[in-house]
A and B are shown apart, each in its own frame.
Chain A
Amino acid sequence: MSSVTEQTLDNESHHDHHHAPKGIMRWLLTTNHKDIGTLYLIFAFSMFLVGGAMAMVIRAELFQPGLQLVEPNFFNQMTTVHGLIMVFGAVMPAFTGLANWMIPMMIGAPDMALPRMNNWSFWILPFAFAILLASLFMEGGGPAFGWTFYAPLSTTYSNDSTALFVFAVHIMGISSIMGAINVIVTIVNLRAPGMTWMKLPLFVWTWLITAFLLIAVMPVLAGVVTMVLTDKYFGTSFFDAAGGGDPVLFQHIFWFFGHPEVYIMILPSFGIVSAIIPAFARKPLFGYASMVYATASIAGLSFIVWAHHMFTTGMPLFGELFFMYCTMLIAVPTGVKVFNWVATMWRGAMTFEVPMLFALAFVILFTIGGFSGLMLAITPVDFQYHDTYFVVAHFHYVLVSGAIFSIYAAAYYWLPKWTGYMFDEFLAKAHFWCSLVSVNILFFPMHFLGLAGMPRRIPDYALQFADVNQIVSIGGFAFGLSQLIFLAVVVKAARGGEKAAAKPWEGAEGLEWTVPSPAPYHTFETPPAIK
């Protein structure tokens, strides 16, 4: 493995410099971190639209009580594939795209450390999702067991699309692992001289920690889907009581992956927001060191809290207490982060350009998601919240108005660097305000639905939930439409506009702003001098 990598490295550097292929081949064969970053980002946004379209189907069916548009079985496929696509196809690739584009420029490296592997890790992704989406057209439909694929619903009681699902998840996992290895090697080995650990931008730090989480838990996911496959097709009984297995074991293994996974989807956001808030408050980030330690401790804690997803499976009292206490502890480092962001704003000189607007919305809405998370951690009350819309509200607050808002913040922050043009501020502001209002109409009332007792993952509901569901659906359609504005902004900015300066944001800090806009195809071929 290692010798192969060395060889490809040498070959690559020659290819790139002299005769880069044109047209489609440029993108297929590219090993340039900026190209690959762009590919990841475009792919993530396309998947975001596909997964979003599925969410629209879900919200349309739930607009009124009764079954109108889809069969329950198809409804379940929509919730399942929506979840899988948003997690593995939208949020994670978007972060990887940002890492590809920005990490080398932030640490003064010429490229990612393993450019050829970088190309592979991107190009296997479209295949994974093609397989997953194709499975929807199989007899009996695609996976319908929720993105958490609890056994035995996903083993004995699923149809043959499960095999495709498992294969697709394997490919996604391999892609993420390769991406994570690349990030770690790049950060560890390719920092410009003088870029010491405690000088790293927080985005780089949070991504480094995320990458370690990825290589620690993606293999566990690979393991558990393999067990699902062998239980279904090869007669093993990992999760089947008849053969000495235990279906609850599935949940333990899955959530051992799953909980760190949710932090994989939020830690890079912390990095982004920690870059943007100081830039627009024109004041250095408050508590840089404590931010790093807080991120690391959140990552560490993520490995010992997994069973808080499983309080109702029947755990002995001491287990419930242990997981409740550990989960509550996460509030401490997360709180430190939020306090530090507010302290950064305090007595700054703020302006409110679009990246800042998204970052501020992130801080507030993510914190609301954090509050509901804290409520969910309390075991006795979790018995009431578990598997209701309260949980749906919680994780959409942290993932949509958390992770996705931070990705938008990042996109607007670095878009001038990528395209060389300033984006249309009016359109971008329209995107922000439409998203902000609709995301709250969409997800805030879900808290009430959950508290009133509406279970999640149901295609039809009792009459008392009708009005609130209607409001939620309207918010959903509005949020979905608002995202098309973003598409317009990006297309417009890519085509032209006001030329962007090397550093278009007055208070921005970091090496990426020392190169011209748009960033040249090759940057930092000779390492920059770090003060």
Chain B
Amino acid sequence: MSSTSQPNDKANARLVSRLVLVVVGMFGFGFALVPLYDVFCEITGLNGKTNDEAVQVVAIEADLDRQVRVQFMTRNAKGVSWPFESQLSTIKVNPGVMTQVDFVVENTTNKPVVAQAIPSVSPGLGAQYLRKLECFCFNQQPLKPGERKVMPMQFYIAPDMPKEIGTLTLAYTLYDITEHDNNPSAEVAMAK
């Protein structure tokens, strides 16, 4: 092998370095799937996440012939004792008409806390048609001890939402991220 190995060694080294590049690339690709997934979900409503930034207000024509039922669900994550409720449980809206719903949260503990509401829409396909102009879920919500906060949520249903969707459920799960918030290494993931 030693006598004939010279040309092979070069070829081997070249091929190995290429393959190692593929390996490194695929390792990176694994992580790239995280933002890719978010983009994909945003386009398709794959996981029922709604927009996490306010949409631009544009002139839209209301569709007064159609009514969509929107249900609001509020849930507390584990360990969260603060009452969190929607003032309305169900509402019928015309697509294209701006609607405001108030949510109330109250910090019944004697410590300052930070809350984060995570929205989820079902059916997931409807998520992209539920456009929010204002939502408490866009930001973390710091709450002083005993503070009661009325949080408005403004939205409209895009008139081009498929006709098959007659009911949208918007669920908010309220998480206690007080500790997370103090943890700088979590900032990156939290930035969303």
Contact = CB atoms under 8 A, between A and B. Distances in A.
Contact of B2 (A6, A14, A318): A14
A234 B185 contact: yes
B16 A238 contact: no
A5 B22 CA distance: 18
B1 A110 contact: yes
B190 A244 contact: yes
A23 interface: no
A237 B37 contact: no
B17 A222 contact: no
A236 B46 CA distance: 22
Nearest to A236: B189
A319 B44 CA distance: 9
A236 B186 contact: yes
A496 B94 CA distance: 86
B65 interface: no
A190 interface: yes
Contacts of B189: 235-238, 243-245
B23 A215 contact: yes
A173 B33 CA distance: 19
Chain A binding surface, main DSSP class: helix
Nearest to B180: A243
Contact of B13 (A2, A14, A238, A243): A2
Contacts of B180: 235, 237, 242-243
A185 B25 CA distance: 18
Given A216-B26, A234-B185, A236-B186, A256 B33 contact: yes
A6 B124 CA distance: 54
Contacts of B44: 316, 318-319
Interface string B16-57: 110110111111111101100100010011111100100000
A241 B8 contact: no
A219 B26 contact: yes
Interface in B138-192: 173, 175, 177, 180, 183, 185-186, 188-192
B118 interface: yes
B22 A216 contact: yes
B58 interface: no
B77 interface: yes
Contacts of A489: none
29 contacts: A2-B13, A2-B14, A5-B13, A10-B2, A10-B9, A13-B2, A110-B1, A113-B8, A184-B19, A185-B15, A222-B30, A236-B189, A241-B118, A241-B175, A242-B116, A243-B186, A244-B191, A245-B189, A246-B49, A248-B47, A249-B34, A253-B30, A257-B30, A314-B47, A314-B122, A315-B46, A316-B45, A316-B124, A525-B1
Which 9 residue pairs are nearest across A and B when measured between Cβ atoms? A223-B30, A2-B13, A219-B27, A244-B192, A242-B175, A219-B26, A235-B186, A220-B30, A237-B189
Interface of A: 1-3, 5-6, 9-10, 13-14, 17, 110-111, 113-114, 177, 181, 184-185, 188-190, 215-224, 227, 234-238, 241-246, 248-249, 252-253, 256-257, 314-319, 525
Given A236-B186, A252-B37, 4 more contacts: A3-B13, A5-B9, A242-B118, A248-B47
